[in-house]
Structure 1
Amino acid sequence: MKMFYKACPMACLALFVFVTCVFSGIRVQAATQYYYKIKVYHFKTKAQEDRLDAYFKNAYLPAMHKAGVKNVGVFKVITPDTLDKKIYVFAPYKTFEELETTDQKLINDKQYLEAGKDYLEATAPTATYTRIETIILRAMTGAPEPAVPNLKGPKAQRVYELRSYEGATEALHANKLKMFNVGDEMGIFKKLDFNAVFYGAVIAGSKMPNLMYMTTFNNQQENTDKWKLFMSDPQFSALSKDPQYKGNVSKNERVYLYPTEYSDY
């Protein structure tokens, strides 16, 4: 055994760290834990919206698929702000390296450059948007990969609910993540068939510390009915009253979205 320690000090250190994590309750990140990028395009006019649609449909999604990124979602707000309209684009990446390098692949894709010419070569007076927000997330340990929802209703009637839970401090944010993963709040959503696309912790964004998740429904009535079931669920009632999770959300925001006809979701 002494010879092993002398010959493999790094292996022993790695083993020590692993054992320490296990017995201290720290969860080791799964190898398949995805990263997500949400880009929010702000625009004002119908002409801008049409040009964005053409870009996403004819250039961006085909190029992303070609680069190996599957199931890219493009969503619009069900009741938009007339002064600040938005399109949400969701992309899942298997690794952070893939997230970093995919844009470069697109820049080197001649078909993408040609198909997206109107968007890519727009000047300031002809810009297709007023600004772009970018949010980067790491998948929660309890849901390390995205899922394609099992919806059967007409695509035009579907409701995609994007929620953001902000914490007043980093510690309270970590506590809410624990509530999802260890307390199994996520399990209640799964039990009631909320058809989630993803659950993630924001690692770069404008409203940190926060987590976000997206659930889906065949229509607005199903959304209403499912949330009534959730709020009356005995498991959630017990979880919400657990003193260890008290006060871990300072702000809860939700946006109701619908998928474009060319969206992968």
Structure 2
Amino acid sequence: MFVKLTSIMKRRFFVKTTILSSAASALLPRIGFTQLKPKNKTFLYYELRTYTLKDANQQSLVEDYFEKAAISALNKLGIKNVGVFTELKPSGQSMLIALIPYQSLQDFETINNRLEQDKRYITEGAAYLNAPATEPAYERINSSLLKAFKNMPGLELPPKNKRIFELRRYEHANEAAGTKKREMFNDAGEINIFKRLGFKPVFFGETIIGEARPNLIYMVTFDDMAEHDQHWKSFGADPEWKKISVIPEYANSKLISNITSTFLQPTGYSQI
């Protein structure tokens, strides 16, 4: 009787062990996948830099840096379509805004170390890189790191003809409002309306590191201010937009606490 019970217990232990082993085997690939997930290439990350400048000399230093050193070095490292812009109608000395797209967070994290190994970059950018504290190349750099929207995961380059650009930032009262506004752009079709009406959007991005969070930032482009005014007028009157905008959960009063709009013009060497 004891031998029979022992045999039964062994069989039960074997079955239980087999079941647990199978379950563990099923879970291990998932755990491994989560921990070892490769860098995500399904959408871009953008560094948006705003250089505050005090005079024309600083502007010249920063522009020379991008034109003669930074853009070519970044291109060599696989970072394409670097945009550099100045204000269309500055009230004083123009800010300079740079848009640098990255394929992954790893690229963003390692880019400075990789640039420091480029002897030509160091030489061509020396005036900017080695500017003394008594005569700095710029006053400050404000940088934001943006994550591209799922429904516009990369840059879309506008025509090369003479154009103006509008950089818009929508600030939110809280993170939930930001999530809802991104849903409005992605899932409710707001991005599609922009494209259909000819706004020629360049990018849409959620600010994941930067000032005035939570916010999203996007860039659209026009031939001139007259076309800008006409496009926004058409947007406000668009039937699809009207359908979306009257949905209570998408009301601007719930989702947007502040809008900042900056009009820009590309420099002669900008790749956007």
For residue 153 of structure 1, the aligned residue among 150, 161, 170 is 161
**What residue number does 1:49 align with?**
59
Count of aligned positions: 248
Q: RMSD in angstroms over aligned alpha carbons?
A: 2.0
Q: List gaps (5 residues or longer) in structure 1.
A: 18-28
1:207 and 2:215 matched: no
Supply the distance in 2 between the matched residues of 1:260 and 1:12 (Cα, whole angstroms).
48
Match of 2:231 among 196, 209, 226: 226
Q: Which runs of 5+ in 2 are unaligned?
A: 1-17
2:143 counterpart letter in structure 1: T
After superposition, where does 1:122-141 map in structure 2 within 5 Å? 122-141=131-150
After superposition, what is the alpha-carbon deviation per residue over 1:28-78, rounded to whole angstroms, capped at 9, x for unaligned? x97411100001000011111111111110011111111110000000001
Counterpart in the other structure of 1:117? 126
The equivalent of 1:22 in structure 2 is: none
Aligned to 1:20: none
Does residue 9 of the first structure (1) align with residue 27 of the second (2)?
Answer: yes
SS of 1:124's equivalent in the other structure is coil
Amino acid at match of 1:8: A
1:74-112: CA deviation from partner (whole Å, max 9, x where unpaired): 000011131x53100001111110111111111110000
- Deviation, structure 1 residue 13: 7.0
TM-score, scaled to structure 2: 0.86
Q: Is the 8 A contact 1:5 1:12 kept in 2?
A: no
* Partner Cα separation in structure 1 for residue 190 and residue 76 of structure 2: 36
1:38/1:136 contact within 8 Å kept: yes
Aligned pair partner of 1:251 in 251, 258, 271: 258
Q: Deviations over 1:118-170 (max 9, x none)?
A: 11111012111111100100001111111111x2533xxx1111000011011
> Which stretch shifts more, 214-223 or 230-239?
214-223
Pair member with larger Rg: 2
Residue 184 in structure 1 maps to residue 189 in structure 2:
yes
Which residue identity lines up with residue 265 of structure 2 in the other structure? Y
Query: Contact 1:30–1:144 (CA<8 Å) still a contact in 2?
Result: no
Distance 1:12 1:44, change over 3 A: closer
Once the two structures are TM-superposed, the CA of residue 5 in structure 1 deviates from its matched residue by: 3.3
